Structure 1
């Protein structure tokens, strides 16, 4: 077995396993090949000249995804080789491309399972040895030889002892200070697909050693992906975990962070695979109910009851909290087309525009339409103004007709106890609710062109593509440039999002996340939605239809 190395201390576990005879112990004749550059490391591994190597953490991702025009060459990470490194890691999202199977390559991991185990056992023993600080001087003496790093041992010893200096008078020593966490950068789910700690577990079940002083569990090791690792070539058919239970488990771990109830529906349209977590329970839709309102508007247009060019007079009484129409209404006589009202409702979730459109469509008509589509759980009962007043414990009959300025004063004067009791009642009442599964069902009908006709469905999607709010939710952690047609909703303890994600290669993902009575801060709820979305995106990009 040829092991490629770069003349950096990162190669130490491989070099020490070779020098201490651990490879030989497990039946591996090891040859160390010092390479001139990281490019050479990558290329010789891809071509098979070297069978194993250490790499900067970004390289296997770039190779697997074929970034920046490079050939797609799938790789897997069986083990985090060490936690040292010299790179600066920037907080950038990975720009993902399609992953193609290298069908003509027989995976090394499939062909030689005993070899893989031996490869992992040897540097594992070497790592246990060099994790002990008292052995670091021996390590520095060996890896500094001309065949490896080729430098005076004292230059490397300080770093190997974990000594660091900020340059401003602060200095210290911690052998673990180089640990970095990819989960901080929103890349954990992708890392879980490429990093295979399961191979490590198979190889060294009887040799495990958590290291000096700080036990690291398997899950923590996966979460704490470091800068430099050991990689093996493997085809995608052998590498990608196809069991959708993996995605479900990731989502179930995220839900408790909202500190309340949450329901999730995810569906890959092209393959029909889906994940449903609490998806048959009804949740307050909040402003996501503007999607079924929009659907009914299009059905009424098809029936000749209205046109998107029809103009509607907007009066001061039409201005409700949570809108921008008040900025346009500087005097009597403002008229807006239904098309413009839809734009306001879908782009900035304007409540005034939504209530005007709901007045045109009729709440009972929207609910009846959803039932005719087989989506019985979706019901629209109140205007947004009624919902806002109900959640604050104010009677619509008494306060619904107040001028906007006075209404805002009344809302601001509601005491905390009244608001809390009203919120409890708001979450119990089954009005303006839907299950995540049925909301996803509505998205699927829109995507498939089943709402009126293909042209009408495409118009609805275009309105949803131009949402100007909710960037921290479904789109929040997706690769830059990913197209998302979605609608958010927020009220009381609910932070929601529902939308269609356009995947690389032309596939589509439907995602609905509803929450209820959530106690976590709004920013944390949004982050959970973003992580659910990213986990789903990564899973289906690497497990597309038919694979």
Structure 2
């Protein structure tokens, strides 16, 4: 992947130096040190409210707060723990939230009328992470299909479905987890119309499987790991096995806030990017897991969060540990955070492929142009002297079925994919 800019060594030195002098804070500590304030700005008096769902990949927002990075860049941020993605959607659209840790696919789902009122605009400022989601199956699959044994899925589903229609869950119609689930079903030869697919908020997945309300789910960590810890299911496939280094969560913002408070949004983005760099140092992930585990954030066992942040999945059942080199990435040497219009076009193509949209968008690219703030991200990255990938609108390959997607030729892709 070609990069247009190289890292500025001075910036890296400044970041590392700030960490050496006690950037990391302890939750609730009255004398905890914070990052040195940005001399070019002081914190605004007006608080910026950012939402998050209790998932491991809210980490860059949480750590930007805990490390004092929002304050460093001159913004006062309030983090708000939300109950569901629908709640996040509604609060962003009304302006109750300036922005949030959000499913990358959500703005496209909402705009096209799948997950909200058609035409409603939510802006994507940057991508927050790649990888780190999974599909968990209940233990009734244990002797039928193992970890990443995709060739056995159809026969297992057919066998169990003959007894009672299987129920699968995802977190938001047209969101990332919905599409990973549907894509996996299609790649394994399962007709999605023959199983149930329901919407459940992420923190409620484990409890619903425990009482047999579902037979499998697709969700972000740590809830796949928690299902294993509680002995109710096993990790069948990680999302990076479906599409390596896929876009997952994004910083999604209210349209009016993005227009009227551009400078504040840029400061928020800079803080989140610096937190992302910190998170991609594996030596920091134990501390991140401890902070994320707290009740006010994810409220899950620190050891489960840490293990999967480090790329070690105890997959459960009888399948043991699986080590991933393509674990959850928050920065990935500058490759993660740039929001690609091609990714949005891919999501919309899947809506058409899987029948979520009966009529294809008349112009995929114009919708992506409306939602993706790529110019703003480039502006922020340029000011931080960071590299920016120039791969947008280029073809890419999805891992599980080796399908090549060209965002410039969606109709040709769909003619093959829908067969």
Tell me the TM-score range normalised by the shorter chain: 0.3 to 0.5
Query: Which protein has the bigger helix share?
Result: 1
The TM-score, its normalising length taken from structure 2, stands at 0.45
- Highest CA radius of gyration, 1 or 2? 1
Normalising by structure 1, we get a TM-score of 0.36
Point out which structure has higher relative CO (alpha carbons under 8 A, 6+ apart): 2
